[in-house]
Structure 1
């Protein structure tokens, strides 16, 4: 008979060893202490983030962790739970452990979070109420783009060094993140671990030896996962310099939909781009999420004035956007559309919503929900 509960402090190492074993068995070798240092790094007390299934011998058979995150989106505060380290022992699969553990986490998050996030196979997590959605832009930039479109751009003063070697580097990451119109809050004391999340490498951007920004790149350097600059005016020079620095013929650059400056500038010379989902999401409080992300959209991309009313997974909402901003009422108008959770999230979060027979102002959806890799779990 299995026992399902939160992990105890003394079980921290056992949780890490179990996750390393399961993921290494199924994929490439994993070292979670290195891969996600802010959760599993030395000295981090992360046991309470885990729900575990334990057999009668006290051995872990499955575990699921949730990282709590505070967000500020469009000036509104949200609470999120990022689900990760979903692990079931190969010999315990099919015994229902994941269903129980996920069910217990979702019950807790419904009472404490506005939204849940995870990365994973679509249909696997649709069973638990998640929908693939949000949006991120991914640009492809090659040497020909640089040679022709940025031939007059002077990048001679731009250089890079490891972020930890730049005085004030971590503080700069903290301050730039605080200025974003949407962000996951990053505690100052965790910045060093956050910028190394999921194997990312952090580089300081120097302009004539002066610290002016940072770049977070994938482990092999072919993807710019996050770019933060004090002066957006040097963005082209930084990208040109980075392509030369990495000695690659082509790189990818990831951007949120609401990063207007980045999208405007890169869009002028990138070879190509695509728009793709960010993660998988489950909304618990539709009114809060709608108010936050529509406010964000209005402040950054612009929002058509109008009204939307519906009953979303049993939650009645009416949203207005006017010259004074976005306002939400937890009530629906007579005749408003009634959508179940999957339909509601598909409308709000995905491009598929445009094919639904639901009245909504043009351009309101999908909501610009986005997670940087550094804030993922």
Structure 2
């Protein structure tokens, strides 16, 4: 007989051992923000426990607060879905997932995860969002940035620089969209997922940071105080890393970074960012349409629908974005998967739904260190 409940603090080691065993990873070093030695993560884990008190399965949710153009969205990043090999096929994951989704319905606007598509579609998640990945090679820098001087630019481990935590916190909160990162947590967040945070130092002054992978050939977060320094930072980093080709990931709404990379990169791809389960369609639509309005731009228009039982009407005009929790009688009716496919995927253009051109997919994006 199994019990399904929240983990307790004294089950810390058992939860980590199960995750390590299931994924063949070391979660304490992989994700110190959640599994560091001094972190009590019991309130994040629901577990399946047998009559002897042994954990056979677990599902965790890392709570996050997302701000999008001053709109606060309550979010949770779902992960560490672990089932012991001897307990697979017994239905524990489904029970734990359903427990979490029922609970989060009252506390979140959107839930995020990264996982196998069809497995999580059964639980109402849709693969979508938007991220761009640019590929910059030596020749691109040599020819495209030949007149750019990177003299005086150097790189140091970010957290070794005095005042780095406050600096990185200020950059994050200055963005149009950001997941909250407290100053106290930053040392655990910025070097998660086997990445390294490098401070960008210009003439002895900290002016930005890059978050790079272990090989140094992928930048998952490119953050500078001054957008005019993007080109010289790219050039300097190519020399510093000695990589012949680097990838740089960016959200669609980072206009200065996309402008610069689009002018020199050898190639780029547009990819999905995560899987999403929208709980409050009006809140998510309002936040991300406003983000588009203030960054890449969005044409004026109106759209109404009943999305997963929620009536919504969105308007964009010269005054900005408005969203109402109502819809006219003739509004299109969409189930959850249809509504999320419309809002979050490139396939919206193929759907028989009339919506203003370019509104969808919404530019939903999570930086890698904010994932779980």
- Give the shorter-chain TM-score range: over 0.9
**Structure 2 runs not aligned, ≥5 long:** none
Q: In structure 1, what is the equivalent of residue 197 of structure 2?
A: 202
CA deviations 1:290-329 (Å, max 9, x no partner) are 0000011101111111110000011111111111111111
Distance 1:220 1:91 in 2: 36
Q: In structure 2, what is the equivalent of residue 302 of structure 1?
A: 297
**Number of aligned positions between the proteins:** 372
SS at match of 1:364: coil
Distance 2:38 2:356 in 1: 50
Query: Match for 2:69 among 65, 74, 77?
Result: 74
Q: In structure 1, what is the equivalent of residue 6 of structure 2?
A: 6
1:150 to 2:163 alignment: no
CA deviations 1:222-257 (Å, max 9, x no partner) are 100001111111111111111111111000000000
SS at match of 2:120: helix
Query: Where do 1:229-240 residues align within 5 Å?
Result: 229-240=224-235
Q: In structure 2, what is the equivalent of residue 106 of structure 1?
A: 101
Query: Where do 1:151-190 residues align within 5 Å?
Result: 151-190=146-185
1:132 to 2:142 alignment: no
CA deviations 1:133-168 (Å, max 9, x no partner) are 000000000000011111111112110011111111
- Of stretches 165-174 and 54-63 in structure 1, the one that deviates more from structure 2 is 165-174
SS at match of 2:162: coil
**Structure 1 runs not aligned, ≥5 long:** 25-29
CA deviations 1:270-307 (Å, max 9, x no partner) are 00111110000000000000000001110111111111
- What is the CA distance between 1:132 and its match in structure 2? 0.4
Distance 2:151 2:319 in 1: 45
Distance 2:316 2:227 in 1: 29
Distance 2:230 2:296 in 1: 20
| CA RMSD between the two structures | 0.7
Query: Match for 2:345 among 347, 350, 365?
Result: 350
Q: In structure 2, what is the equivalent of residue 371 of structure 1?
A: 366
CA deviations 1:324-370 (Å, max 9, x no partner) are 11111111112111001000000000001110010111111000000
Q: In structure 1, what is the equivalent of residue 29 of structure 2?
A: 34
SS at match of 2:243: coil
- What is the CA distance between 1:18 and its match in structure 2? 1.4
- What is the CA distance between 1:221 and its match in structure 2? 1.2
TM-score by length of 2: 0.99
Distance 2:316 2:330 in 1: 20
Distance 2:197 2:69 in 1: 27
SS at match of 2:289: helix
- Of stretches 3-12 and 111-120 in structure 1, the one that deviates more from structure 2 is 3-12
- What is the CA distance between 1:188 and its match in structure 2? 1.0
Q: In structure 2, what is the equivalent of residue 27 of structure 1?
A: none
TM-score by length of 1: 0.98
Q: In structure 1, what is the equivalent of residue 309 of structure 2?
A: 314
Q: In structure 1, what is the equivalent of residue 277 of structure 2?
A: 282
SS at match of 1:177: helix
Q: In structure 1, what is the equivalent of residue 16 of structure 2?
A: 16
Distance 1:303 1:340 in 2: 25
Question: Structure 1 stretches (4+) deviating beyond 3 angstroms?
Answer: none
CA deviations 1:84-104 (Å, max 9, x no partner) are 101000111000000000000
Distance 1:189 1:312 in 2: 39
